[in-house]
Amino acid sequence: MTTPWDDWNHILKLDPDKELPDGVTYGDLCATGTDAIEVGGTMGITEENMSAVIEACAEHDVALYQEPSNPEVVLEDDALDGYLIPTVFNAGSPFWITEAHKEWVRLEGDLDWERTTTEAYIVMNPEADVAELTEANCDLGADDVAAYATVAEHMFGQEIVYVEYSGTLGDEGVVEAAAHATDESTLFYGGGIHDYDSAYSMAQHADVIVVGDLAHDEGIEAVRETVEAANDA
């Protein structure tokens, strides 16, 4: 079975709780050459700010996905190509593995399953908001991450395995181990990508790199560099 992300190299993740640099618009970011826009964040996310970013991106010709941090901010919007739903495999609390997902189904009933895909997150930066929120065990070696990736693909059938270092550039050896452990799943990597070289190094191993803070901190040209690196790798 083919998926949209089979053909992706680069995702730009936009956080509705963060501002853009002066003079930068969402349209500018959509035109950087990224394969997809993912709208989501961990803290300060509301229906209102999520909707504002989705609406601003919807008029541009780029794949658009929502990554909701909890069921209360999921938006039913035809402009979205789909929903990427994190399930944190190394979470300390079961809420972030299955409980939040169960609540979403309980509250909403019949979801749009054709447009909904889970992402098997492996959170690796203990200082990141997502690690604190999910009480993730980040004290993992490359072999642990590889094992999680294998479990995600072969036991749980996850189409996406996501090694997440949110806020810091990760260990290339860990990402390489995850890449070797996955056969059919698409490997996403996110965290600390800030220029061509950092993007290229991670794109050597991950199928798709996810760039987030750079858009909010630096703007268009910096993002374009990472797109170029992802396509060159």
Q: Which residues does 140 contact at the CB level (< 8 Å), separation at least 6?
A: 90, 122, 124, 148, 174
Residue 51 marked in a binding site: no
CB 52 within 8 A of CB 79: no
- Beta bridge partners, 164, equal 123, 190
Residue 211 marked in a binding site: no
Residue 164 marked in a binding site: yes
Mutual angle of helices 172-181 and 196-203, in 10-degree steps: 30
Owner of token pair 């560099």: 225
Residue 141 marked in a binding site: no
Residue 18 marked in a binding site: no
* Amino acid (one-letter) located at 172: E
Residue 151 marked in a binding site: no
Residue 167 marked in a binding site: yes
Q: Shortest CA distance to 206 belongs to which of 133, 119, 137?
A: 119
What spatial distance separates the first Cα and last Cα of the chain, rounded to whole Å?
A: 24
Residue 163 marked in a binding site: yes
Residue 228 marked in a binding site: no
Residue 148 marked in a binding site: no
Annotated binding site: 13, 15, 42, 162-167, 192, 212-213
Annotated binding site for Mg(2+): 15, 42
Annotated binding site for sn-glycerol 1-phosphate: 13, 162-167, 192, 212-213
